[in-house]
Amino acid sequence: MNKALIKNLESQIKLKDFKLNSLLEITNAINSNEDVDKIIDLYAFILREQLGYDRFILFNRQKKWNCLLKVGYKGRVNHIDVAFELSRFEEITTIQSSHSKFLSDFDVIVPVDHKGQTLAYLLVKGSGSDEKYLNAELSYMSFIQTLTNIIVVAIENKRMVKLKAKQERYKKELELAKTMQQLLFPEELPSDKCMDISAKYKPRHEVGGDYYDFIPVGEDEYIICIADVSGKGISAAMLMANFQATLRTLVEYQEFDLKALIVELNKKVMNSAKGEKFITFFLAHYNTVSRKLAYVNAGHNHPFITNGKEVANLDQGCIGLGMLDELPFINVGEKELEPNTTIVLYTDGVVELENEAEAFFGTDRLIKLVHSYYPLKMEDMNNLIFSKLDAWKEGLPFVDDTAIFSCRFF
């Protein structure tokens, strides 16, 4: 056997050993659950130190294209439109000439596909060294493509594992928030000879930021309230849960004073939300003996009082809670309720519900419905109002949390 043939066989064996060792190193790192940075560092070491490439860039697509690795290239790449520059390359391609200044700085483009989708592009420029195992010749690039495929798929799998874990955490947080929100609302609302109280609530998502409550504070005294936190989802539900707990604690353990209560609630919202969210809030204190109702409306949609014919808005109060460190004013409104008076509290999801013509449901329409259904029990009236809301949106989804809290005092 001549020396040239022996040397060629030795080179082939050496090359196969190198490929196997490289693949083994990469797969061991992946199986050992090394983080992405370490896997990328190992990949870069193989390309640079063992294969002899002095310039290469790896673009990877996740939600969008980004530069996963850049070695030996001093130019900026964040502005590169990867899809525009590279999507036409479906196979390993040697760059002979290019109108693109960016592409002309490289020798070969290596696309990496997985399940029929291109996940990455590797751009390389060879060192020209004959002492390295591989060079920029097209015939050697299939190994680099295989190696890159393993790397990119491993990173994608890690991303999917993290995404799944994040989704699982979110699901648990959502379940917790949903449970906490269910605890916000009173289990039972009274319907007796003194009063008939009923509420209906439909969150936009699984959890929402609306809240209503009915709290006895003495033998003949009651608190009724409704609130709406800016924003939606878990953070809104958690803030509202904290708000409800604070309200009930203050009502139970402090001498009852509407202004002092509102001031303290504003402080709590500011501390909890850090100015990122605010709460519109309506709170009323009713005495069934004196029939006097004292209330504060903190930037909420105006509840209204009606006897079935005449309407009065409950609009005295202050700005929403959590908007400013200190409330510039707090006005306490007062009303004396005639027998058979109804108070309707609601959130903006009711009156701001749009139909296909982008027209709001509106407060006037709500008031007309209340007057139309006035003889009914509050539960029946609320159900009928929601049926009208369903008809109004004409198959469109509810775009906000929606709550109605109706109170009739005999």
The model's pLDDT over 86-98, given as tens digits with 9 standing for 90+, comes to: 988 988 888 877 7
Return the H-helix or E-strand segment holding 264.
helix 258-273
405: its two tokens? 């809290």
Instruction: Enter the pTM of the model.
Output: 0.62
CA distance 173 to 316: 37
Phi, psi (rounded to 5 degrees) for 171: -60, -45
Rg (Cα) of the chain, in Å, rounded? Answer: 34
Instruction: Determine the residue type at 324.
Output: L
The model's pLDDT over 291-334, given as tens digits with 9 standing for 90+, comes to: 999 999 999 999 999 998 899 999 999 999 999 999 999 999 99
The model's pLDDT over 6-28, given as tens digits with 9 standing for 90+, comes to: 555 555 555 565 566 666 677 77
227 versus 53: which is more confidently predicted? 227
Q: Contact, 210 vs 228, CB < 8 A?
A: yes
Strand 317-318 and strand 292-298: pairing?
parallel
Look up tokens 């108070």; give the residue: 343
Q: With the C-alpha atoms ordered 377, 378, 383, 389, is the resulting torsion angle positive or negative?
A: positive
Residues 6+ apart with CB under 8 A from 15: 133, 134
The model's pLDDT over 174-194, given as tens digits with 9 standing for 90+, comes to: 677 667 667 777 888 988 888
Structural domains of the chain sorted by starting position, each given as residue range(s) with its CATH number in brackets: 3-162 (3.30.450.40), 185-409 (3.60.40.10)
Edge-to-edge order in the sheet of strand 341-346: 195-202, 402-409, 341-346, 304-306, 311-313
